Amino acid sequence: MNVVISGSGLFTPEQSISNDELVAAFNTYVERHNQAHQAEIDAGTREPLQPSSSEFIVKASGIHSRYVIDKKGVLDPEIMAPRLPERPDDELSILAEIGAKAARQALEQAGRRADEVDLVIVACSNLQRAYPAIAIEIQQELGCQGFGYDMNVACSSATFGIGTAADAIRSGSATRALVINPEICSGHLEFRDRDCHFIFGDVATAVLLEREDACQTDGAFRLLGTHFKTRFSNNIRNNFGFLNRTAPEARDNRDKLFRQEGRKVFKELLPMVTSTIDEHLEKAGFAASDVKRFWLHQANLTMNLFAAKKLLGREPSAEEVPIVLDRYANTSSAGSIIAFHLHSADLQSGERGLLSSFGAGYSVGSILLEKV
Ligand code: COA
């Protein structure tokens, strides 16, 4: 039985922060911080903080701007974090709200009603609470049937979620599945750390999966296969969790937000990504040259161009490897789905594309698709 992605959706926050705006806020914070600790810096007992620069950010990452849900808090040198007031339990939570917006678009594109969906998976890096599942809240908000659950494979959550949903449809435990990726990455980012303050943005994406023989829309994408790899690494890590309160002395330490060893990640993850995709294509009986488009995880421009060059054995064209990180930044699991949503409509019937995620775990996901 063939499974297709019959619709996709994208929610983009209204507010965007340019590198210059971000750097201005960061450098004001640095100036104030250094002034406040001038005596220790002069005595040589404390290192002064170093300023950031837009040139570095563009050169190191390819990011020019990022969308965020709360720009004001992030750019306030006294706060340097989004401010998203807590909502009462009887109000829709913010993750469910943005996820539902993306999901409604995916349903509309697929020509489906919410009550025809019987599986809702929320797959993302950061879930805003322990339980009940955000997926079940979205199930209720949209009016879906069946069941829902949350899953987290960090930046690979979306592709792993698509694989899980496709398996559920093939096995008969579901007939139609929404895989939703609400990513409020600004919430786990230390905007006071110049090594990473520029990396992330906020967004939500969604795809609808169903049986090809039941699909009602033109332009669906058939899943030709999936391939996944994980290997443990501490190089991208966030120790936030429900046990933090059991060690109050360390509760607010730096390790309770995103941190990474960017250089090591680059060096170790890139070969894992290209070998996983190579293995996948070989398993499916295709060569990289049979793939018209690579919708890659959007973390770093150089990394994506490197990966595509390694796979194709030549420089990729801009059309072959669409880049959205220049204005969305790294949106964790949603990145490759944004690229797919914005850059898939022009593919012709029979043309193939590959969705690939990579990130913490380490984790790599690969989904081979063919336009129906
Ligand atoms: N402004 C100016 N200089 C900065 C800076 C900033 N904001 N941040 C760091 N620097 C400095 C560093 O201190 C370092 O200085 P040094 O050489 O004197 O020590 C230099 O610039 C290079 O820093 P480095 O962290 O090695 O930069 P990089 O070229 O590796 O780029 C990343 C950093 C994070 C953009 C890059 O490593 C990356 O994207 N890696 C892959 C990440 C990834 O894919 N993650 C998976 C998903 S989360």
The whole-angstrom separation of Cα 312 and Cα 250 is 47
What pLDDT score does 28 carry? 98
Q: What are the structural domains of the chain?
A: 221-371 (3.40.47.10)
What pLDDT score does 136 carry? 98
Give the pTM: 0.97
Paired strand residues for 369: 223, 353
Q: Which atom of ligand 1 is nearest to the CA of 236?
A: 48
DSSP string computed for 78-125: TT-S-------TTS--HHHHHHHHHHHHHHHHHT--GGG--EEEEE-S
What pLDDT score does 170 carry? 97
Q: Is 20 helix (H, G, I), strand (E, B) or coil?
A: helix
Is 299 a pocket residue for ligand 1 (Cβ < 6 Å)?
yes
Residue 155 DSSP class: B
For ligand 1, atom 39, name the residue with the nearest CA. 300
What pLDDT score does 15 carry? 98
CA triplet 328, 352, 170: central angle to 5 degrees?
Answer: 95
Q: Are 81 and 26 in contact (CB under 8 A)?
A: no
In sequence order, what are the residues at sequence separation of 6 or more whose Cβ sits closer than 8 angstroms to the Cβ of residue 175? 118, 169, 210, 211, 214
The whole-angstrom separation of Cα 281 and Cα 312 is 12
Query: In this structure, how many other beta carbons lie within 10 angstroms of the beta carbon of residue 345?
Result: 10
Instruction: Give the rounded distance of the alpha carbon of 51 from its chain centre.
Output: 27
What pLDDT score does 16 carry? 98
Q: Omega of the bond prior to 316 within 30 degrees of 0, cis? A: no
For 23, counting Cβ atoms within 10 Å of its Cβ (0-12 exposed, 13-18 middle, 19+ buried), the class is buried
What pLDDT score does 131 carry? 97
pLDDT digits (tens), the chain, 372 positions: 999 999 999 999 999 999 999 999 999 999 999 999 999 999 999 999 999 999 999 999 999 999 999 999 999 999 999 999 999 999 999 999 999 999 999 999 999 999 999 999 999 999 999 999 999 999 999 999 999 999 999 999 999 999 999 999 999 999 999 999 999 999 999 999 999 999 999 999 999 999 999 999 999 999 999 999 999 999 999 999 999 999 999 999 999 999 999 999 999 999 999 999 999 999 999 999 999 999 999 999 999 999 999 999 999 999 999 999 999 999 999 999 999 999 999 999 999 999 999 999 999 999 999 999
What pLDDT score does 320 carry? 97
Is 122 a pocket residue for ligand 1 (Cβ < 6 Å)?
no
Instruction: Give the rounded distance of the alpha carbon of 222 from its chain centre.
Output: 22
Cβ contacts of 249-256, under 8 Å, gap ≥ 24: 254/190, 254/193
What pLDDT score does 298 carry? 97
Residue 52 DSSP class: P
What pLDDT score does 24 carry? 98
CA distances from 249 to 166, 188, 260, 261 (A): 44, 20, 23, 25
What pLDDT score does 346 carry? 97
Is 270 a pocket residue for ligand 1 (Cβ < 6 Å)?
no
What pLDDT score does 187 carry? 97
What pLDDT score does 254 carry? 96
Compute, in angstroms, the gap from residue 263 CA to the centroid of ligand 1.
Answer: 7
What pLDDT score does 60 carry? 97
Q: Is 155 tagged catalytic? A: yes
Reading the block at residue 36, the tokens are 């406040």
